[in-house]
Chain A
């Protein structure tokens, strides 16, 4: 018996639930009544409609840190320490601001795709203003045009700095950006030569940014000589290189393979990916038509593609927050969850991003995953020390006595709202079906039957491995 409801009889609600698990952060029980009569097509339209508007993160209003650094005498220990601390606080605030936006927005599809691009264009910067700027670029273009997105990301101070293009000058090319552009952002390994990297790095010479965090083309540092790239020759600029890369069909295949793994299945299906790539390529890299195609494709709802993806830590945290209307007295506890589970926003492990899938799971992360939901729902205690991020080492070096952190989740689930949202006449099993993506097997059935109340059933269900899947 295949997992999930059998394809032919998969009812409309099961499809909507699957759609929201993948295109959003899960379905809330109070939407049951409203959505169960919706056709897939209408639900997809509704997803896009509610993501129409891009609400930027606006925590930071100016590039203050840069001005501060400018003013500060960097050799003064105290000032430097304060400067670092202020930066780190802003990074935390930014992390939480985005988590809150994901947890409360109606534009779930947009935020889900921002999370995708955040990982695709993985970047670290110590400047929170740059981080916010890049995040907003990824948000504005999340459902738009890939070429526009790519160009804006490539010209963002965060990325220019991260991949050393600020040091890429005529006569002294720095190849870091050119390499990652091809290896990770567009076409993938095996589709370009080392010579292509060298030549294209020359085309990006002079790309940089100014003190205000604006892209500048420093003409004096640009190598305007002739370059030969992927078989074409000319006095290429950076934009020309991007055009040439996008002319290669393989770029569309590369992007769609990643999208497929994010939205559909860890194991790409060649035929489905190629169909997506055709749409992306022939549609001038417009993203929405490809996403609509996926969400309305029959194969998207096939049993093999339902309830089989491991939620990312952010999916898990945000999903909980949304489904149970969680409020945190101390929101920073969510960052402890991120650390314990191995996904701190704005801190990807490297430029290749979080590998995802089974890589999320090891003995300790799984134990935390199984415990965090019930802890949050019960205001329990999380006992967690964990490792500092390497970038925090400078701060840590200055702190002689670091204590083990033991944090009360200090969270409140709005149970009244959750229970009130359940439509009259809904069975416990139906509530369970909304919470869990995989098929309800006989073991889970006995959990459901034996549980004394909906509340205790819910606490148990969110503590199962099944809840880790979407």
Chain B
């Protein structure tokens, strides 16, 4: 190899290289080969989404009393039953709801809730108790527990530049892929390629060995993800937003037959302390339209039955609005599920109780780790106690 190439390429570190055209695409997998390969898609809404203005408890007068300037008026709402309704910006989700592809779990939280963004997000991502600090994420521990079967980083894929704690285990970690082509070309720079080729054997158990092992795994995962995903051409229409693009990538991965169990995507901008109606409305619209396009894409390709989507946020917001037409950090929140095989379609449990509050905040009724336990036991087929330690009881939503 010409060493000057490396100097040149590092000056253009951003992966502007085209994918080598001589690489032959893998044969696309037959769709019957794929069916039955279950995958989980997790959508994180960062900033603490206001669940009460997402799934609106319009049947309860207290909602209107506590939110004089930001309550959504009845005629604007998209009613789901005589108590709860969708925020009008989530109109795109109504069709999914009517088809039985959506389920809403109310009042999800955990004991002694923390109102700090980063701490509560940490708790949700590590599935820890609120007085416990874990250095591994719950999906990462799923990878650890499962690594005898699935030993590749692409078993869990985050569509992003960086990898969240949720996907980091102690033995195994997922992989962050914003753009498969870019990841591929980054790993194929001649100098890296040479380092990888020279180190394919004799890897020690020490930190240097670990670095080379990670590098080699990244190298081969990048290849696998790129070669597999490019066999599928997306036909469905998606909105022109960054978030929709991420879900479009996930659908492409799923439809092309990537052997990935868990996908992770996030959307931020939900910390609405001021002028919430517009800010949250804008983000909910981005969310709802992208999810609707995603679910319909999977329905079209026949993979919806094998897919389960879970949306969460690190906390909900206080029942009473603040003086700036916004809401402050709260506690329990709703979790939204989507998929073709939901056991309990529609609204899973009672609307949040707005009367019996804990210091102005909703009381949780379902521990989020019971939801995780269900996903692990019934969808990913691992015993949840290997991941959640305390062994949480599974629910019956799938």
Contacts and interface: CB of A to CB of B under 8 A. Distances in A.
Given A378-B7, A378-B10, A378-B11, A465 B266 contact: no
A112 interface: no
Contacts of B274: 77, 80-81, 398
Contacts of A179: 131
Interface residues of A, number: 75
Interface stretch (B71-79, B117-125, B343-351): B117-125
B122 A466 contact: no
Interface in B154-174: 160-165, 168, 173-174
Given A124-B118, A393-B270, A465-B212, A371 B13 contact: yes
Contact of A359 (B118, B135, B324): B135
A266 interface: yes
A351 B273 CA distance: 25
B109 interface: no
Interface in B261-320: 266, 268-275, 279-280, 282-283, 314
A365 B215 CA distance: 10
A443 interface: yes
A456 B3 contact: yes
A396 B47 contact: yes
A466 B168 CA distance: 23
Interface stretch (B52-60, B95-103, B186-194): B186-194
A179 B14 CA distance: 45
A390 B176 contact: no
A380 B11 CA distance: 4
Interface stretch (A96-104, A229-237, A381-389): A381-389
A400 B282 contact: yes
Contacts of B271: 393-394, 396-397
Contacts of B7: 378, 456, 459
B358 interface: no
B323 A308 contact: no
Interface string B6-34: 11001111110000000000000000000
A426 interface: no
A80 B324 CA distance: 10
B218 interface: yes
Contacts of A399: 269
Nearest to A304: B206
A406 interface: yes
A209 B123 CA distance: 29
Contact of B218 (A366, A396, A463): A366
B324 A342 contact: no
A460 B6 contact: yes
Contact of A351 (B133, B191, B198): B133
A379 interface: yes
A266 B210 CA distance: 13
A393 B14 contact: no
A361 B213 CA distance: 11
Contacts of B221: 363
- Residue of A266, A393, A397 most packed against chain B (CB within 10 A): A397
B218 A363 contact: yes
A261 interface: no
Contacts, number: 201
Interface residues of B, number: 74
Contact of B161 (A340, A357, A374, A463): A340
B3 A387 contact: no
A366 B131 contact: no
Contact of B269 (A81, A367, A396): A396
Contact of A349 (B46, B118, B214, B272): B118
Contact of A363 (B46, B116, B163, B325): B163
A380 B186 contact: no
Contact of B215 (A308, A366, A388, A398): A366
A374 B14 CA distance: 12
Contact of B206 (A308, A347, A382, A390): A308
B198 A375 contact: no
B195 interface: yes
B151 interface: no
B324 A380 contact: no
Contact of A361 (B210, B282, B322, B325): B210
Given A378-B7, A388-B46, A464-B195, A393 B117 contact: yes
Given A350-B122, A380-B10, A390-B118, A397 B211 contact: no
B211 A459 contact: no
A469 B207 contact: yes
Contacts of A400: 282
B121 A308 contact: no
A364 B268 contact: no
A3 interface: yes
Given A367-B187, A450-B3, A463 B46 contact: no
A362 B163 contact: yes
B217 interface: yes
Contact of B173 (A362, A385, A468): A362
B383 interface: no
Interface string A329-372: 00000000001101000010111100101110111111100110
A469 B210 CA distance: 11
A363 to B, nearest CB: 4
Interface in A425-470: 438, 443, 450-452, 456, 459-460, 463-466, 468-469
B4 interface: yes
A340 B274 CA distance: 30
9 contacts: A339-B162, A349-B118, A362-B168, A370-B192, A375-B10, A382-B13, A384-B161, A387-B46, A469-B207
Q: Which 10 A-B pairs have the closest CB atoms?
A: A393-B47, A390-B117, A393-B271, A383-B14, A374-B10, A465-B211, A352-B133, A355-B135, A364-B176, A363-B218
Interface of A: 3, 74-77, 80-81, 124, 179, 184, 266, 307-310, 339-340, 342, 347, 349-352, 355, 357-359, 361-367, 370-371, 374-375, 378-391, 393-394, 396-400, 404, 406, 438, 443, 450-452, 456, 459-460, 463-466, 468-469
Given A382-B14, A400-B282, 10 more contacts: A184-B133, A347-B118, A352-B133, A363-B221, A367-B187, A367-B218, A380-B13, A386-B161, A397-B271, A404-B242
